[in-house]
Amino acid sequence: MRMIIEAGEEGIFQSELWKRLGINSREGSRLSLRFERRGLIRRERALYKGRWTYRLISKRKNVSLRSIADCPCLLCDDIDKCYEGGTVSPISCERLTEWILLLAKRDGMRSP
């Protein structure tokens, strides 16, 4: 799974993965079908070196700390008092809500 995740959005051809893992195509096919059934990957039919095969693409993404670098909570003076029912709460915090809405707007702009 790590190799598939590291292959990113482009994924990895299954034959390439079998070669790297040192397993045969029968074992490899069983493995990729198991990953697909568990919802960990999607398989896309693709032409590779003149043959039809599958490209394996992870549904999981590597998470980067950069994605939360500008979260207001990281520099908030009230973080010790912030919890559900506390003096301040993430449920009603305007700064957190604005940040989440900004992320949603950015993600929306990235989607086709």
Instruction: Catalog residues that contact ligand SF4 under the rule CB under 6 A.
Output: 72-73, 76, 78-79, 82, 88, 90, 93, 95-96
Query: Please, which residue, 33 or 101, has the CB nearer to ligand SF4?
Result: 101
When the beta carbons of 76 and 103 are compared against ligand SF4, the nearer one is 76
Encoding tokens for residue 45? 């039919």
**Neighbouring residues of 73: CB distance < 8 A, sequence distance ≥ 6:** 79, 82, 90, 96
d(CA 6, CA 21): 14
**Shortest distance, position 94 Cβ to ligand SF4, whole Å:** 8
| CB nearer ligand SF4, residue 57 or residue 88 | 88
* Cβ 67 to ligand SF4 shortest distance, Å: 16
Is 32 within 8 Å of 18 (Cβ atoms)?
no
Q: Which residues contact 91 (CB under 8 A, 6 or more apart)?
A: 84
- d(CA 97, CA 90) in angstroms, rounded, equals 8
- Name the minimum Å distance from CB 75 to ligand SF4: 8
Which residue, 57 or 82, is less far from ligand SF4 as judged by CB? 82
